[in-house]
């Protein structure tokens, strides 16, 4: 063939094949969150507020985000399957099948908002031409309305994939059968008291390539899951170094992620943990936004496969490493009249799941003793402190106790003039049955030893130290 027609063919081929838009770098995805963000700063949606924001977004999108399918919860609340893009490959993301796990719902709304706002930019245009993004933000609105893991029937939807007794589970299964997505993202919150590797930092995000069987063989499905999970972990690490882990769980036939994978949609589980400090919820929403958006770009560009070695190298998600507050080496008067002893005291607060979800109904004194293996998000060197159960009614209760001690000559100028024996006796008296023992809700009164006596240092109330 002469050179000129060959060149013409090559040129025409180039003209019909759109050039590859460069992959947006992680920093650009991170910067994209603020302008796109519509979710509340609490990191948690009430069901009605979510519906209102989604309806506004749909209108604003001018048809680019649409309701693909509508479900109804057990108590009649709407569940939306939203779609963006027109690509041949369908990708399904669902959040908050556990009603008290809100972070990814916010990220999904912000993600859809971003796709709308940037739809004419090359990278987003390419994504939406290659993928159809299907999103179910908040599969369990009934649970969300009462901050409960389960649905209104009291069933854990994530254990209903076989029996399908929940309308929410049936909806998810129906969406999967209708659309047969090539990838699934199962979005959850885990406890915030986890670390990325033993002795690592607090896990902000854990990923898992969800098994499709007890002993899944290598193949394209597993490669896709591990590749996506590794990709997301890599991107998350640029934003949250040392805070990304590999989730660990056994294959569970009745669970949805496992079943999705078994039914033919390779699924990645994302478990948002915690990222202690002010603005935690927003940091976690942004982290979810970045990794999910990045995963979609990777899928659109076919860059998701073959991440097995990188996946295996992600540090393990370790439970039981952290508590909220740790007092180290306090001198403890436990409230039962026993002689004082040296112990560490660990508190776990009721809201120890980020984003307003409540995993524990009440704050608990988690443990007493040598707790060198634990780390606290807040730690107090309590070597010079004496801890006793607080009297009822906290500070005002203490004022009454102090008045009584002064009247009996056992306190003066705000100082307690008590030796260990007397303090043990008095503390048992004002504790009135409360004791510093694990798995109780006990509050503490703390004293500082001074040369003239014991000075009030403050209180630990609902797991929070006040001075």
Q: Which residues sit at the interface with Zn ion, rule CB under 5 A?
A: 98, 101, 188
Cβ closest to Zn ion, residue 61 vs residue 352: 352
Look at residue 189 and give its three-state secondary structure: strand
Q: What angle do CA 359, 183, 74 make, to 5 degrees?
A: 45
Task: List the beta bridge partners of residue 388.
Answer: 445
In whole angstroms, the minimum distance from the beta carbon of 171 to Zn ion comes to: 17
Q: Are 249 and 214 in contact (CB under 8 A)?
A: no
In whole angstroms, the minimum distance from the beta carbon of 33 to Zn ion comes to: 23
In angstroms, rounded to a whole number, what is the distance separating the alpha carbons of residues 132 and 109? 16
In whole angstroms, the minimum distance from the beta carbon of 279 to Zn ion comes to: 23
Cβ closest to Zn ion, residue 108 vs residue 116: 108
Cβ closest to Zn ion, residue 43 vs residue 335: 43
In whole angstroms, the minimum distance from the beta carbon of 256 to Zn ion comes to: 10
Q: Are strands 454-461 and 464-466 parallel, antiparallel or unpaired?
A: antiparallel
Tokens 């294959």, residue?
A: 251
Cβ closest to Zn ion, residue 273 vs residue 391: 273
Quote the longest CA-to-CA distance of the chain: 113
Tokens 């919820």, residue?
A: 281
In whole angstroms, the minimum distance from the beta carbon of 253 to Zn ion comes to: 17
DSSP 8-state code for residue 462 = T
Cβ closest to Zn ion, residue 101 vs residue 258: 101
Cβ neighbours, 10 Å, residue 385:
22
In whole angstroms, the minimum distance from the beta carbon of 326 to Zn ion comes to: 27
Cβ closest to Zn ion, residue 101 vs residue 443: 101
Distance between the two ends of the chain, CA-based, in angstroms? Answer: 88
* E strand residue ranges, 137-241: 183-189, 194-196, 205-209
354 alpha carbon, distance to own chain's centre: 5
Tokens 């000129």, residue?
A: 4
Cβ closest to Zn ion, residue 148 vs residue 174: 148
In whole angstroms, the minimum distance from the beta carbon of 151 to Zn ion comes to: 13
Look at residue 71 and give its three-state secondary structure: strand
């Amino acid at each position: 063939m002469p050179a000129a027609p060959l060149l013409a063919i090559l040129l025409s081929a180039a003209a019909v094949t759109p050039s590859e838009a460069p992959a947006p770098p992680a920093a650009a995805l991170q910067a994209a969150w603020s302008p796109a963000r519509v979710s509340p700063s609490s990191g948690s949606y009430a069901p009605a507020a979510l519906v209102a924001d989604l309806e506004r977004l749909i209108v604003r999108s001018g048809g680019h985000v649409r309701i693909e399918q509508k479900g109804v919860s057990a108590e009649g609340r709407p569940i939306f399957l939203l779609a963006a893009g027109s690509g041949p490959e369908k990708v399904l993301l669902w959040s908050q099948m556990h009603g008290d796990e809100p972070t990814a719902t916010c990220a999904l709304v912000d993600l859809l908002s971003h796709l709308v706002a940037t739809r004419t930019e090359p990278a987003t245009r390419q994504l939406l031409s290659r993928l159809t993004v299907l999103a179910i933000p908040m599969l369990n609105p009934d649970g969300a309305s009462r901050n409960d893991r389960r649905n209104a029937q009291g069933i854990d939807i994530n254990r209903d994939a076989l029996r399908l007794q929940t309308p929410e589970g049936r909806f998810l299964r129906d969406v999967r059968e209708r659309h047969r997505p090539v990838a699934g993202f199962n979005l959850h919150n885990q406890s915030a008291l986890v670390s990325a590797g033993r002795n690592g930092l607090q896990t902000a995000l854990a990923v898992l390539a969800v098994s499709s069987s007890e002993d899944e063989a290598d193949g394209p499905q597993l490669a896709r899951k591990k590749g996506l999970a590794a990709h997301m972990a890599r991107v998350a690490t640029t934003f949250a170094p040392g805070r990304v882990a590999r989730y660990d769980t056994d294959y569970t036939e009745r669970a949805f992620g496992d079943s999705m994978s078994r039914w033919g949609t390779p699924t990645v589980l994302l478990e948002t943990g915690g990222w202690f400090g002010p603005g935690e919820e927003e940091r976690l929403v942004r982290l979810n936004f970045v990794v999910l958006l990045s995963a979609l770009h990777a899928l659109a560009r076919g860059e998701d496969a073959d991440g097995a070695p990188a996946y295996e190298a992600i540090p393990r998600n370790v439970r039981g490493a952290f508590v909220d507050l740790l007092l180290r080496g306090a001198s403890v008067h436990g409230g039962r009249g026993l002689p004082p002893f040296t112990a560490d005291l660990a508190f776990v607060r009721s809201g120890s799941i980020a984003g307003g979800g409540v995993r524990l109904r009440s704050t608990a004194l988690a443990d007493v003793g040598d707790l060198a293996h634990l780390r606290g998000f807040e730690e107090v060197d309590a070597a010079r402190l004496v801890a006793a159960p607080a009297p009822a009614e906290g500070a005002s209760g203490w004022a009454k106790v102090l008045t009584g001690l002064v009247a009996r000559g056992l306190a003066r100028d705000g100082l307690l003039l008590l030796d260990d024996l007397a303090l043990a006796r008095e503390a048992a008296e004002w504790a009135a049955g409360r004791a510093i023992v694990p798995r109780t809700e006990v509050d503490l009164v703390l004293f500082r030893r001074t040369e003239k006596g014991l000075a009030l240092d403050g209180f630990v109330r609902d797991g929070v130290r006040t001075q």
